[in-house]
Amino acid sequence: GAVVSQHPSRVICKSGTSVKIECRSLDFQATTMFWYRQFPKKSLMLMATSNEGSKATYEQGVEKDKFLINHASLTLSTLTVTSAHPEDSSFYICSARVASGAYNEQFFGPGTRLTVL
């Protein structure tokens, strides 16, 4: 089946530093990847849609200069949290879309736990 990986699985950083999270589709090419943020005991909040070779589309209320997304290849998208602050601490999950003919599914990565001290 389609496998999506994320790296790192957890990261702790100091306030003011930047953190990069990678999302990879391991056995398929994904023209579209999504980044979600999950708060404790809450649902997933879509942050942005990332298309290979073009700028990401951010959801309303998400700061694009704060959460930099790059989708440089068909198997890799990165989310960089710039100048992280404690309120950015969260669980970040990516997904990759597979679309072929009538088949259209998203496969999710295992998530990255970010803790900002």
Partner 1 sequence: GNSVTQMEGPVTLSEEAFLTINCTYTATGYPSLFWYVQYPGEGLQLLLKATKADDKGSNKGFEATYRKETTSFHLEKGSVQVSDSAVYFCALRPSGGSNYKLTFGKGTLLTVNP
* Least spacing, CB of residue 53 vs partner 1, in Å: 16
Residues 6+ apart with CB under 8 A from 69: 35, 48, 50, 56, 77, 78, 79, 80
| Closer CB to partner 1, 44 or 62, in the complex | 44
For residues 47 to 86, the per-residue mask of contacts with partner 1, x marking binding by CB under 8 A and - elsewhere, is --x-------------------------------------
| Nearest one of 85, 49, 88 to 69, comparing CA atoms | 49
CA distance 43 to 57: 20
Strands 44-51 and 32-38: antiparallel
* Least spacing, CB of residue 113 vs partner 1, in Å: 8
| Closer CB to partner 1, 14 or 41, in the complex | 41
Binding site for partner 1 (CB under 8 A): 4, 6, 32, 34, 41-44, 46, 49, 93, 95, 97, 99, 104-111
